[in-house]
Structure 1
Amino acid sequence: MPIENIPQIYLDDTKEMPDLFVYDFIMKQDVVKSKVNLGMNMFSFLQVGKKQVHFAGTAVAVNKDQSLLLKKGNWLWTELLDTETNYYCKLFFFSEKRLKEFLEKHTENKTVVKDEVPYFIIGNDNYITSYLNSLSTISNAPAIFMENLLSVKFEELMLYLIQKYGKSFELYLYSLIINESSAFKKTVESKIHSNLKLEEIAFLCNMSLSTFKRNFIKEYKTSPGKWLQDKRLQKAKETLEQGHLKPSEIYLDFGYNNLSNFSIAFKNKFGFSPSETSS
């Protein structure tokens, strides 16, 4: 599956990236685990449909009652239609330069923020509805005025969200401009019990599959396939020891296509079959 570079694919002139940019995204069919390289931080105002996103170390799902502020980076996006309707989302991109200018002007926090989650969930209230309507209205403005109008609208939105969510939103904004060290291990270990493929985990680490495998072996001294299998089998054993579920009820959750392969791998690791595991 090709990687979509956003917002570049929405721009007529990709040589010059604007500091602020609004795009109306409309979709007529479901998209599952689309690979997205998000080049700017972005508000995603979901108005019709459902959205799920995976980022390095975390995942989040929202419906039309919520919107997201997403950190730039590599994401896997799943976007689902509501019954018999199009998927509609208004996207508002902003540069790190504009964010820094806003923080310098309106906040006093100088705290270094690390390991913040890469998204912030926003409840869609009456203000947000009115705000989105105003964004639609100014979309028809002459280009010469658009930049100034968007600057005012960006500042208005940020001030409202700081007033609504307080310190938590302010700290989140600061986390967007912190250059964190590699989150390789954090990403890998957060996906142990997900059903993501190695290629998808590599993408979330912003690496090709071959580079991911080299980095993995350097970090963990074993292949990613073997390491993940061992971790998942250990978790399967713990699950069966609780006595509530049978092997036939869990093998799919741990990445096996059939019960036979699961049983063979389990017995090779532990010396007994999963059916012999008891609480």
Structure 2
Amino acid sequence: MDQAITYKGKVVFMKLSMPSFSRTLKSYVEDEACFMFLNKGEVNVRTQDDYLKLNQNVGMLAKCLNYFFEPSQNKDACNDGIEAIGIFLYPSLVKELFEFDLSTSQHQVNYNVKQVQIDKMLNVYKESINILLENPELADESIVETKLKEFVLLASKSEGAPSQLDFLSALFKPNEVEFKTTIQQNLFANLSLDELALLCHLSLSSFKRKFIEVYGESPKKYINRKKIEKAAQLLQSPESRISDVAFDVGFDSLATFNRNFTQVFGQSPSKYRLS
């Protein structure tokens, strides 16, 4: 069951439990940045240009953008799902809490989503938020204000920012990721066209038009061809099982892989390997 604490009408602390899940979208929220701790389990995060692994020792700092949570490939670590704690920041609350004018800082950082090692100070902070979420009657306005200020202080020091103002200013400046970078980074990830469009922050129709403009052919045709070309390279290694190759290049079933491979090369993957 999810638990949340609000401040000035906005969620600032949340505990999210996901017993089991498939790929799940964290959708863009304008002017929202967040930090995520894990209380238990492991989870992967797929962004436009990165793929992060999070656990109880590694948290995540994220600007406002679309990204996906994906189950960990470590089956032992995700048998019981995950439990996460989110800290959410907004420019309007920052201005009120700190009396900062974020526009006065030109500080920038070269990431949109970043892994952060959970040191002792951050771990103690996480436990204090756990207590508040379990006992929301304790979370009056002054306590919430104090805990938000504490987080900004800890996170800015952890990131080595010149100041708290610089840390917060950079956090609300998403980096633009090139369209080609997003496609190439996620080419073999078994993403649907809808999911790729979401990563690019485009509607499906706009995504298809942009793709044809950039690559000169439809996304389905291009992506399928690249997957098959990659599979042909992997099949040259006799140690690689055909089923493993199929999943490694982003096909969700062996039958689909065999059919597509045969259409491109005129023979099955097993015959191609022998030849």
Q: Same fold (TM over 0.5)?
A: yes
* Aligned mates of 1:252, 1:119 — CA distance in 2: 26
Is residue 131 of structure 1 aligned with residue 131 of structure 2?
A: no
1:157 aligned to 130, 151, 155, which one? 151
> Are the counterparts in 2 of residues 266 and 274 from structure 1 also a CA contact under 8 Å?
no
Preserved contact between residue 111 and residue 175 of structure 2 (Cα < 8 Å) = no
Q: 1:155 to 1:174 in 2, by over 3 A?
A: same
Unmatched 5+ residue regions in structure 1?
1-6
Distance 1:235 1:103, change over 3 A: farther
Q: CA deviation at 1:46?
A: 0.9
Give me the identity figure in percent. Answer: 20
Which is further off, 35-44 or 170-179? Answer: 170-179
CA contact (8 A) 2:107 2:170 kept: no
Q: Shift of the alpha carbon at 1:246?
A: 6.1
The separation in 1 between residues aligned to 2:234 and 2:223, in whole angstroms, is 16
Question: 1:195 pairs with 182, 190, 195, which one?
Answer: 190
In the TM superposition, what are the counterparts of 1:83-232 in structure 2 within 5 Å?
87-98=82-93, 110-113=106-109, 116-135=110-129, 136-137=131-132, 139-141=136-138, 143=140, 146=141, 148-167=142-161, 174-181=169-176, 183-232=178-227
Cα distance in 1 between the residues matched to 2:160 and 2:22 = 34
Q: Whole-Å Cα distance in 1 between the matches of residues 177 and 34 of structure 2?
A: 22
- The change in CA–CA distance for 1:179 and 1:82 in structure 2 (over 3 A counts) is closer
Residue 12 of structure 1: how far off its partner (Å)? 8.6
The DSSP-based 3-state class of the residue aligned with 2:184 is: helix
Q: Residue 4 of structure 1 aligns with which residue?
A: none
The answer as to whether partners of 1:37 and 1:74 remain within 8 angstroms in 2 is yes
Instruction: Return 177-186 or 78-87, whichever deviates more.
Output: 78-87
Inter-partner Cα distance in structure 2 for 1:182 and 1:86: 31
Between the aligned partners of 1:229 and 1:53, the Cα distance in structure 2 is 24
2:14 is the counterpart of 1:31:
no
Going from structure 1 to structure 2, the CA distance change for 1:109 and 1:274 (only over 3 Å counts) comes to: farther
How many residue pairs end up in the alignment? 257
> Comparing 240-249 with 35-44, which one deviates more in the overlay?
240-249
Within 2, Cα distance between the matches of 1:58 and 1:37?
16
Which consecutive residues of structure 2, in runs of 5 or more, have no partner in the other structure? none
Correspondence for 2:12:
21
Aligned equivalents of 2:189, 2:88: Cα separation in 1:
30
How far apart are the structure 1 equivalents of 2:112 and 2:88?
A: 15
CA contact (8 A) 1:161 1:169 kept: no
Q: Larger deviation: 200-209 or 245-254?
A: 245-254
Distance 1:103 1:232 in 2: 51
Counterparts of 2:78 and 2:261, CA distance in 1: 40
CA RMSD of aligned residues (A): 3.9
Letter in structure 1 aligned against 2:26: V
Cα offsets for 1:95-132 (capped at 9, x unmatched): 034557869589x973444xx33222222333223213
- Displacement of 1:33 in angstroms is 0.8
Q: What's the counterpart of residue 59 of structure 1?
A: 51
Deviation at 1:239, TM superposition (A): 3.0
Counterpart residue identity of residue 69, structure 2 = W
2:225 aligned partner, one-letter code: D
Give the secondary structure class of the aligned counterpart of 2:183.
helix
One-letter identity of the residue aligned with 2:148: F
